[in-house]
A = this chain, B = another copy of it.
Amino acid sequence: VEKEFVRWLVENHRATEAPVVLGIGDDAAVLAPSSLYFGQEMIIATDAISDQIHFDSNIHSLERIGRKALAVNLSDIAAMGCRPVAALLSIVAPSDWKSDSARRLFSGFSRLAKHYHVAVVGGDTNSWGGRLVVGATIIGDSLAGAKRPFWPLDGASAGDVILVSGSFGGSILGKHLDFDPKLELAAFLAQNYHVNAATDVSDSLSLNLAALASASGCGCEVMVDKIPVSDAAVRLSHDDRQRQTALEHALYDGEDFELILAVPRAVADAIATDPKLPEPVTEIGVLTDSRSIVAVDADGVRRNLTIRGYEH
């Protein structure tokens, strides 16, 4: 697979525009720094997705799988409040792959890359006797004019308000594959507001929120009736085999790839009334100086929130 695929990539998809000095086809890729690129901090993340865990190769097209491999990495860049610049694709393919399989996977990957002006600069292809694994590495930098060069996981303080994008639960019905990483929202917020801490929801809302609070040395109170519950979560809750409420799906399903943000009270209020905000965010709670994760219902009843999710 590799030789023919790489030749095809070099002939058809070798990025040459800045900041790419040397693209696909060599032992490594070369990127040039400049005042625009890598002038500030450089951001780097890697995430792999594997068959029967993050996708099902019997059901999902290779284009959608390739797209997801990049999207989960772009979501990490969004969660840092940064900008993606370049990506590498690593394929560990079943030995029965046809010659166009790698191209189909790449086409889904590269179409999303183009959409976000990300150069695909290199990678790695191997065959083996096992199932498909697709790894990606994303390189980014701080946004021009950002209030902070990046958003850490551990920067929240007691009193910070918890904001989330989108809605939660039931991603298994489709969103886990076809979601749009929250890059536009993240860029707008990074350039206009001080965000103290952020992460994206890969494991579950409860798990990733608890991770942010814990890393920041905080606890939190979640107003569970304020959590935006997705239509998919409601649909799943009507399926008797699942035996979970829609709210439970929202709290415990994984792969929503929405943002969780911790911001000072005044910032939350400013964001809430900003007419230029690319998409709505929802206030769901507050960081506290305890270490417990507390659910508060509409009647003000408090209980410890169970923390679990899709830990793969």
Contact = CB atoms under 8 A, between A and B. Distances in A.
Given A53-B126, A126-B50, A135-B90, A41 B27 contact: no
- Of A3, A27, A90, which is in contact with the most chain B CB atoms at under 10 Å from its CB? A27
A48 B46 CA distance: 12
Interface residues of A, number: 66
B42 A38 contact: yes
Contact of A43 (B29, B38, B44): B29
B27 A38 contact: no
8 contacts: A27-B76, A28-B43, A32-B42, A38-B42, A44-B139, A49-B126, A127-B312, A135-B135
Given A28-B80, A44-B137, A54-B126, 11 more contacts: A21-B41, A25-B153, A26-B152, A26-B154, A29-B43, A30-B80, A46-B46, A47-B90, A50-B130, A51-B128, A92-B133
A43 to B, nearest CB: 5
- Of A82, A126, A129, which is in contact with the most chain B CB atoms at under 10 Å from its CB? A126
A3 B203 CA distance: 11
Report how many copies the assembly holds.
2
Interface of A: 2-3, 21-22, 25-33, 38-54, 76-77, 79-80, 82, 86, 88, 90, 92, 121-124, 126-131, 133, 135, 137-140, 149-150, 152-154, 198-200, 215, 311-312
A46 B80 contact: no
Contacts of A77: 27-28
Contacts of A122: 44-46
Given A29-B43, A32-B41, A48 B124 contact: yes
